[in-house]
């Protein structure tokens, strides 16, 4: 009776990888992925709880699923992931049309629950967190594309005071080296040109005596693997060994996402980030010095409880000192259950918005500044897709994670080509493919 499923994914890349894992399990049981939500027998939404805004989006989607279910009461609706973990009671109580609620460590139950549903029409829930679950033995059904997501660890033990992740995804645990290597080899054999190693705290990977830099090195030696990325590392665990391995292997992209959160020591301490402004700046410049042409991006939160004008200025001045290539910027969003949710010196929403805009505007200037600096360079670019602006152009990313558009000129998606950077219009770049003969002449 249940033949097809549709999974909608919100939130981080880890959720994308989890949805691929769930698809893998469902396909193995004979269900078919559908690309039409209105005709699917089972609808899953893989959710994110990191900010209130992320939850709001899912709530509004759930309203739409409810409408679908009114027309077709036999369909199954399942809420998966971090919001399921976080809001199970309110979902069960207020959203009676939701049949299945599964947290991030309970996906193995999915098949049983669908079978039970066939028999008994009961609502099912499992949000137990595990100290061991890493789903190593399950083959994901990957989305098409050039990049394969490879989770290497799950959970987080850092307990930043603003963050819900340690509560929704549980304790940190790493996958075995062998299971990761096998998955990477499988992805390369299936034609993926780039892999991105994933974890909430990717560089605190530890399996037996193997640390993140050992893992990176083993992966870098895999034949025909053209590009390796990883996200997100924590500044505290960004060791010299990691930077050295990045330097030693050409297929590890010169790009680091280094989440700052705040430039004020007082706020960093209150956030429990475990590094100081000075340590972050040192780390930033040592990465810049050791890795040629490296791109560095960051995450910044404005309006954390108690953030004074001076604290905010410290964030601005740090940004000015380092000049990130790009930044994901957020207004602080209180997450019930976290330590910071109990701080009672919240910043006014209007002020948060003003600060956010200042950070966005400054980052635009810095992105432009860094992009201008590489005009004239020849960059290696992995072609990802057709440009939205012109069907005559491709777009792809440099190793340093900058988007470049250029004329197609006998190349294909998945090729790595040399592109001479000619112009920038702010965040993205424009260039021209340089052939190998032209490279020799240059």
The footprint of ligand 5AD (CB under 6 A) covers 50-51, 162-163, 259, 261, 299, 301, 330, 332-333, 335
Contact predicate 395/387, CB 8 Å: yes
Q: Which is nearer to ligand 5AD, 78 or 233 (CB)?
A: 233
Residue 106 interacting partner from ligand SF4, ligand 5AD, none (CB closer than 5 to 8 Å by kind) = none
Q: Which is nearer to ligand 5AD, 358 or 393 (CB)?
A: 358
Backbone angles phi, psi at 147, to 5 degrees: -110, 135
Kindly give the interhelix angle for 52-71 and 82-94, rounded to the nearest 10 degrees: 50
Kindly give the interhelix angle for 309-322 and 349-373, rounded to the nearest 10 degrees: 10
Q: Which is nearer to ligand 5AD, 336 or 426 (CB)?
A: 336
- The CA distance from 94 to 242, in Å, is 47
Query: 274-305 burial, b if ≥16 CB within 10 A, otherwise e?
Result: ebebeebeebbeebeeebeebbbbbebbbbbb
> Least distance from C-beta 361 to ligand 5AD, angstroms?
18
Binding mask 177-216 for ligand SF4 (x = CB under 6 A): -----------------------xx---------------
Of all residues in this chain, which one has the CB nearest to ligand 5AD in the complex? 299
Residue 173 interacting partner from ligand 5AD, ligand SF4, none (CB closer than 5 to 8 Å by kind) = none
Q: Which is nearer to ligand 5AD, 19 or 329 (CB)?
A: 329
Contact predicate 155/199, CB 8 Å: no
Structure tokens at 315: 């964030």
- The CA distance from 328 to 20, in Å, is 25
Binding mask 213-252 for ligand SF4 (x = CB under 6 A): ---------------------x------------------
Residue 201 interacting partner from ligand 5AD, ligand SF4, none (CB closer than 5 to 8 Å by kind) = ligand SF4
Q: Which is nearer to ligand 5AD, 14 or 45 (CB)?
A: 14
Structure tokens at 141: 């059904």
Binding to ligand SF4, residues 144-163 (CB under 6 A): 156, 158-160, 163
Contact predicate 366/358, CB 8 Å: no
Q: Which is nearer to ligand SF4, 130 or 411 (CB)?
A: 130
CB neighbours of residue 441 within 10 Å: 8
Q: Which residues bind ligand SF4 (CB under 6 A)?
A: 156, 158-160, 163, 165-166, 200-201, 234
């Amino acid at each position: 009776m249940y033949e097809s499923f549709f999974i909608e994914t919100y939130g981080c890349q880890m959720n994308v990888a989890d949805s691929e894992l769930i698809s893998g399990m469902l396909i193995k049981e004979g269900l078919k992925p559908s690309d039409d939500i209105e005709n699917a027998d089972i609808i899953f939404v893989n959710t994110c709880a990191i900010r209130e805004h992320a939850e709001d989006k899912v709530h509004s989607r759930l309203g739409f699923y409810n409408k679908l279910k009114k027309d077709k009461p036999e369909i199954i609706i399942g809420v998966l992931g971090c919001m399921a973990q976080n809001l199970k009671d309110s979902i069960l109580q207020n959203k009676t049309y939701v049949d299945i609620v599964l947290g991030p460590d309970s996906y193995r139950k999915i098949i049983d629950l669908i079978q039970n549903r066939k028999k008994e029409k009961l609502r099912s829930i499992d949000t137990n967190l595990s100290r061991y679950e890493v789903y190593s033995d399950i083959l994901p059904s990957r989305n098409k594309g050039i990049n394969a997501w490879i989770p290497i660890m799950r959970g987080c033990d850092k307990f930043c005071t603003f963050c819900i992740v340690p509560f929704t995804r549980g304790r940190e645990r790493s996958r075995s080296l062998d299971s990761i290597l096998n998955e990477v080899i499988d992805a390369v054999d299936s034609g993926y040109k780039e892999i991105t190693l994933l974890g909430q705290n990717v560089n605190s990977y530890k399996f037996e005596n193997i640390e993140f830099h050992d893992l990176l090195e083993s992966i870098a030696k895999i034949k025909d693997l053209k590009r390796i990325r990883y996200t997100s590392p924590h500044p505290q665990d960004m060791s010299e060994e990691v930077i050295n391995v990045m330097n030693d292997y050409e297929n590890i992209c010169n790009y680091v996402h280094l989440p700052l959160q705040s430039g004020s020591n007082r706020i960093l301490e209150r956030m429990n980030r475990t590094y100081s402004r000075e340590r972050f700046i040192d780390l930033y410049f040592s990465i810049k010095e050791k890795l040629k042409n490296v791109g560095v991006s960051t995450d910044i939160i404005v309006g954390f409880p108690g953030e004074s004008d001076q604290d905010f200025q410290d964030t601005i001045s740090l940004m000015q000192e380092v000049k990130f290539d790009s930044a994901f910027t957020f207004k602080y969003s209180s997450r019930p259950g976290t330590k910071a949710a109990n701080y009672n010196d919240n910043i006014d929403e209007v002020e948060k918005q003003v600060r956010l805009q200042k950070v966005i505007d400054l980052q635009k200037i810095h992105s432009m500044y860094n992009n201008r600096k590489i005009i004239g360079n020849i960059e290696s670019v992995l072609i990802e897709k057709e440009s939205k602006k012109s069907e005559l152009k491709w777009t792809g990313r440099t190793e340093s994670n900058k988007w470049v558009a250029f004329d197609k000129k006998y190349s294909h998606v998945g090729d790595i080509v040399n592109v001479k950077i000619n112009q920038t219009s702010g965040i993205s770049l424009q260039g021209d493919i340089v052939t190998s003969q032209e490279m020799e002449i240059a």
